[in-house]
Amino acid sequence: MTENLLVEVGLEEMPAYVVAPSILQLEEKTKQFLQENHLAFSAINSFSTPRRLAIQVQDLAEKQADTEEEIKGPAKKIALDENGHWSKAAQGFVRGQGLTTDDIYFKTIKDTEYVYVTKKTVGKNAFDVLSGLKDVITSLTFPVTMHWNKFDFEYIRPIRWLVALLGEQVVPFKILDVQTDRITYGHRFLGKSVKLAHADMYEEQLQEQFVIANHFKRQEMIETQMQAIAQEHHWQIDMDEDLLAEVNNLVEYPTAFVGDFADKYLQLPVEVLVTSMKEHQRYFAVKTPEGKLLPHFISVRNGNETKIENVAQGNEKVLVARLEDAEFFYQEDQKLSIDECVEKLKNVTFHEKIGSMYEKMQRVQTITQIIGKYLGLSTEELADLQRAAQIYKFDLVTNMVDEFPELQGIMGEKYALLKGEKPEVAQAIREHYLPIASEGELPTSNIGAVLAIADKLDSLLTFFAAGLKPKSSSDPYALRRQTYGIVRILAAKHWPFPFTSLQQKIEETINQNEGRYGAHLADQAAEVRNFLKGRLRQFLLAQEHRYDVIDAVLDADQDDLHQLFEAANTLGQHLHDEDFKSSIEALTRVMNLGQKDQSKNAVDPSLFENETEENLYQAVKELEGKFAQQTVEENYQALTHLRPLIEDYFDQTMVMTDDEAVRNNRLALLRKITQMAIAVASLNDLVTK
């Protein structure tokens, strides 16, 4: 026989961003609790609103499953004394398991006999076990917590009620001063308390009290209502998924409505209007079918349609106040010159251990020129890049960005254009922040991409130099995200980027004039390179490359990130070639010997003793001459085409011969192949079985 279980934690209103991860935690931890306690069930349904976290376990078994556990004890020679009687060790072992020596049997493991017993446990009734759910509830973790009343216990918000029903029975347990019951509560203003007769009645009875407990149904209601409004007015809605999820977790009973604002505010940049609505008020912007922003918005009320017009008017007043501020800031900012803003950055701290934002910009100017020249940007592009790097953070001291930090870079582009800067320069100012999220939009222009790389690379080098490296559990300066951004930009642009040599040039240049740059870049090449490799591994995993391919690429004797990207793609394309296994095994055999030779001995053809040595040598010599100019694909093909020569070579040649001169000469030839192979990838890391 089975019953359904309902558990609900009633709380003061939680922040919207906490709701989804919290209910996921409760669901997972409940599942773990039931599994650990051998209680079978068919499914777990979850419910969440700003005021409640609840789970409904379907078809929960009436009792725990009976279990049998085979337990190993001491060796037989310890369990029996010289007279064949049970020793104290054996008696203590069985007593600890609640059994007797009559239950002992022996099993042999690796020629040694051991005592074993089989412990049978009769399952308890589910009702008697479920009080342990108290620990599940109290074990939830949150990004912020609070305590209340006289209690030391902390939680996301004060717990106001608890429901725990197994079918019709209340499962008794207590958290602080709140005892489990069958009473839940409806909408704060529209509903009333509900006495649940059965766990199955939860969702239905709450809906009668204006609570849509199922978050999927609630979101569907919001979308349906908004689409109906849009259809009625012939509007287009940007259905922002993040905003939709947030709004969904702000309400228990959603009702969408329309608000308006004056046409004059449409003179503000679209981004300012959308940000004011979305980030500050949680409103959805509406547009014409052609995509032009309209002076209206859609919001969602936590309640029904009663006096909805009053709610709309109140929301309009709040938005207008925001837009009045934005209009004022926009006008005031235009009175400032870019040079004035840049000068103010001398008093804006980038980090107390590193220096000012102005000094960061000085470093980035230098880094952009080093990278830009290496990449072969045109004279005009380098000039535009220099100008962009001189001013790219100026908008941080504007009124608009101070009020709306989300608009940094965006307002920089707007104001730069208003002040007569070239469109290419203005675009780079906006693009240098990209990607904002790990898999976010990338810069499209060359200037913006180089500026983005330089800005992120400066942060990486200076924070490492200041000893502010990410830890396994924390990355307060988002260095992982920024470095991953560098990797993604380079991969998208297909740019060559020998990281270590560029890093060394940057460090030398910066350290020659610390007074201008405000920082000393300590030599941390190996540490920074390893950190970069970690982000490269993350990127290649996201591209769904095989683990052994990634290991082979990252272990390559190759500093150019572009070459590493190409190597991963090349290997991935050839994994299923008919001759892949035999070619890699031949090259692996070469590398295993070639890596043993640390000398710089030249190959002496006069020491060859058979034709296969000469044939392999000539092929290697020819490949060496063009290796540096070829693509990774061409080099891979050339190396794998050596397979027949390598196989013939090993068939007729003893590499580790007693003659030292001949042995060293043969190792030197294998070393040449190894050096070329490992410049592509550490091919001996590949799994060929």
pTM attached to this predicted model:
0.82
The residue type found at 165 is L
Residue 303: HSE in the Cβ half-sphere, 13 Å Cα cutoff = 12
pLDDT of residue 187: 97
Tell me the C-alpha distance between 352 and 336, whole Å: 27
Strands 183-185 and 193-195: antiparallel
CB atoms inside a 10 Å sphere around CB 524: 18
Give the pLDDT band of residue 147 (cuts 50, 70, 90). Answer: very high
Instruction: Check pLDDT > 80 for residue 98.
Output: yes
**pLDDT for residue 648:** 94
In the predicted model, what is the mean pLDDT of residues 635-655?
94
Question: Dihedral sign, CA of 372, 378, 384, 386?
Answer: positive
Q: Which residues contact residue 211 at a Cβ distance below 8 angstroms, ignoring those fewer than 6 apart? A: 49, 52, 186, 187, 191, 252, 253
C-beta atoms surrounding 647 within 10 Å: 16
Length of the chain: 689
- Give the model's pLDDT for residue 472: 82
Token digits of residue 181: 């019951």
Instruction: Give backbone dihedrals phi and psi of 529, rounded to 5 degrees, phi first.
Output: -65, -40
**C-alpha to C-alpha distance for 166 and 169, rounded to whole angstroms:** 5
pLDDT at position 267, please? 94
**Per-residue model confidence (pLDDT) at position 122:** 83
pLDDT bin (cut points 50, 70, 90) of residue 40 is very high
Strands 254-260 and 284-287: unpaired
Q: CATH 1.10.3210 in the chain: give the residue spans.
A: 339-543
CA distance 570 to 257: 55
pLDDT of 563 > 80? The answer is yes
Mean pLDDT, all residues of the chain: 94
The pLDDT tens digits of the residues spanning 214-271 come to: 999 999 999 999 999 999 999 999 889 999 999 999 999 999 999 999 999 999 999 9
pLDDT tens profile 542-560:
999 999 999 999 999 998 9
3-state SS assignment for residue 2: strand
CB contact set of 437 (below 8 Å; sequence gap of 6+): 481
Q: Please, what is the Cα angle at 173 between 170 and 178, to 5 degrees?
A: 100
Q: What is the mean pLDDT of residues 129-155?
A: 95
Domain with CATH 3.30.70 in the chain: 2-64+126-208
CATH number at 339-543: 1.10.3210
Rounded to whole angstroms, the Cα distance separating 593 from 601 reads 15
pLDDT tens-place string over residues 464-495? 999 999 988 889 999 999 999 999 999 999 99
Residue 123 binned pLDDT confidence (cut-offs 50, 70, 90) = confident
Tens-place pLDDT, residues 388-444: 999 999 999 999 999 999 999 999 999 999 999 999 999 999 999 999 988 999 999
Distance CA 100, CA 91 (A): 7
Question: What CATH number has the domain spanning 551-685?
Answer: 1.10.730
Q: How many Å apart are CA 622 and CA 635, to the nearest integer?
A: 12
Q: What residues are paired with 10 via a beta bridge?
A: 52, 161
CATH 1.10.730 occupies which residues in the chain?
A: 551-685
Q: List, as own/partner pairs, every contact residues 381-387 make where C-beta atoms lie below 8 angstroms and the sequence separation is at least 24, other chains included.
A: 381/424, 381/446, 381/447, 384/422, 384/424, 384/425, 384/428, 384/447, 385/428, 385/447, 385/450, 385/451, 387/421, 387/422, 387/425
* Strands 159-166, 178-181: pairing kind: parallel
What CATH class is the domain 2-64+126-208?
alpha beta
Q: Is 392 exposed, middle or buried (0-12, 13-18, 19+ CB in 10 A)?
A: buried
541, 550 Cβ separation under 8 angstroms: yes
Residues linked to residue 356 through DSSP beta bridges, in sequence order: 349
Summarize pLDDT for 332-347 with one digit per residue, the tens: 999 999 999 999 999 9
